[in-house]
């Protein structure tokens, strides 16, 4: 009896009628691809063999020259060679991403079942990002992610790096009440912590509960008072649980937002212009200028990009000149503004650092590139738009 693979070669080699004339384009393309693999050095896999039989069964009546042979072959399939074996990769380890940050890395042979399990993790994981081919995933290197992923992947037969195993054992050995107590604000006595708070706020600063709650993200402490999210924007920002927060521009003006940042002693400020449309850039600059002046900020402002000298570009550049928003970046700069993805090099070698970041009308989120990496220096990144960014919906807080 002829083998399935040799029968396929006969079908594909037939010139009249050609396989493309008999079958749907997708099926004929797959069969020709499988024929090429059969003629190659590595043969086909068992799954490819099943697919081949399935296509022949569904199309046997269309391939009239070979209908009888197909019926005989698919009843008891035989093959001329052994199927190609695919190495099953299941690894979980720590590596560096494109920005040279340490991340958790899941490497696997493509599996629909495992992919579905990972996709269903939802909010249990902080920033789980799949590769385009579905053969790897990255996640933030956090204690929560380590515990969740180890307990998920180990039963699935993954090879887990010893470093991750050691981290997991350490984390699981912690007593939650004891650990929480160590980070309670009233229990922290370390001099470096006191120095950092003093350098941040100054000795004579009157510190209210909003500032105490706000700095808990920056200095990673907890307070005995339960957080009160309240109704005003200052309380909403101060009581956030993560560094990134979405503020709905339809509900809160930019002037109100900047006022809240001033109340929380969150200057200097970095403003990131997300849009690439000249008219929108000009409108955002107008709004920013009005909002700064409404909050008594006139000096030490730098807009560190310009537009082409078209109609809206000229208006944008003229507004910068008229308002003298061309201050040199130094430690006295109150507000600096850049375009998303186009951070000037002099920012990297300058001691100036933002206490807060506002991303205007962001759609994809500050996620890639130098601007994103630089912005992560701050523990308060506000996405100011009518809707939360597509890529950050699960990561940022909605307010």
Taking the CA atoms of residue 369, residue 124, residue 361 and residue 216 in that order, the dihedral angle to the nearest 10 degrees is: -90
| Domains 90-174 and 242-398 belong to one CATH topology | no
Threshold 0.75, pTM exceeds: no
Architecture of domain 242-398: 3-Layer(aba) Sandwich (3.40)
- Closest among 307, 271, 314 to 291, alpha carbons compared: 271
Q: Is pLDDT of 399 > 50?
A: no
Q: Is pLDDT of 194 > 80?
A: no
Do residues 47 and 77 make contact, with C-beta atoms less than 8 angstroms apart?
no
How confident is the model over 90-127, as pLDDT tens digits? 999 999 987 788 999 999 987 788 888 888 887 788 78
Q: Is pLDDT of 298 > 60?
A: yes
How confident is the model over 119-172, as pLDDT tens digits? 888 778 878 888 877 789 999 999 999 999 999 999 999 999 999 999 999 999
Q: Is pLDDT of 269 > 70?
A: yes
CATH number belonging to domain 90-174:
3.30.780
3-state class (DSSP) for residue 303 = strand
Residue with tokens 């706000």: 214
Which helix (H) or strand (E) segment holds residue 382: the answer is: strand 381-385
pLDDT at residue 207 in the model: 66
- Closest among 314, 285, 282 to 302, alpha carbons compared: 285
Distance (Å, rounded) from C-alpha 140 to C-alpha 285? 34
In the chain, domain spans: 4-75, 90-174, 176-229, 242-398
Do residues 59 and 23 make contact, with C-beta atoms less than 8 angstroms apart?
yes
Distance (Å, rounded) from C-alpha 147 to C-alpha 168? 6
Mean pLDDT within 362-387: 80
3-state class (DSSP) for residue 218 = helix
> What is the 8-class DSSP label of residue 297?
-
């Amino acid at each position: 009896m002829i083998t399935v693979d040799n029968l396929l070669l006969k079908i594909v080699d037939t010139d009249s009628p050609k396989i493309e004339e008999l079958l749907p384009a997708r099926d004929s393309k797959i069969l020709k691809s499988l024929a090429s693999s059969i003629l190659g050095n590595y043969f086909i896999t068992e799954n490819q063999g099943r697919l081949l039989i399935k296509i022949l069964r569904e199309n046997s009546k269309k391939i009239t020259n070979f209908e009888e042979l197909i019926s005989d072959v698919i009843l008891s399939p035989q093959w001329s060679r052994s199927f190609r074996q695919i190495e099953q990769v299941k690894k979980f380890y720590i590596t560096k991403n494109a920005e040279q940050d340490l991340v958790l890395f899941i490497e696997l042979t493509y599996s629909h079942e495992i992919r579905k399990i990972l996709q269903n993790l939802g909010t249990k994981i902080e920033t789980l990002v799949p590769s385009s081919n579905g053969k790897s995933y990255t996640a933030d290197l956090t204690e929560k992610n380590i515990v969740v992923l180890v307990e998920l992947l180990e039963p699935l037969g993954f090879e887990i790096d010893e470093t991750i195993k050691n981290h997991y054992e350490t984390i699981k050995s912690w007593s939650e009440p004891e650990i929480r107590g160590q980070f309670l604000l009233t229990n922290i006595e370390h001099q470096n912590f006191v120095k950092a708070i003093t350098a941040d706020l100054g000795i004579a600063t009157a510190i209210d509960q909003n500032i105490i709650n706000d700095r808990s993200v920056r200095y990673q402490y907890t307070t005995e008072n339960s957080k009160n999210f309240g109704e005003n924007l200052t309380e909403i920002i101060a009581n956030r649980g993560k560094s990134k927060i979405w503020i709905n521009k339809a509900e809160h003006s930019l002037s109100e937002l900047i006022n809240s940042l001033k109340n929380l002693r969150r200057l200097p400020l970095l403003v990131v212009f997300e849009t690439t449309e000249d008219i929108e850039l000009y409108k955002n600059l107008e709004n920013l200028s009005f909002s700064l002046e409404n909050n008594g900020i006139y000096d030490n402002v730098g807009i560190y990009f310009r537009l082409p000298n078209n109609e809206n570009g000229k208006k944008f550049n003229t507004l910068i000149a008229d308002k003298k928003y061309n201050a040199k970046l130094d430690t006295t700069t109150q507000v600096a503004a850049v375009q998303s993805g186009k951070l000037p090099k002099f920012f990297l070698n300058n001691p100036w650092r933002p206490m807060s970041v506002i991303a205007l009308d962001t759609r994809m989120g500050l996620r890639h590139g130098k601007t994103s990496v630089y912005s992560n220096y701050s523990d308060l990144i506000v996405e100011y738009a009518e809707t939360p960014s597509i890529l950050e919906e699960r990561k940022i807080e909605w307010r």
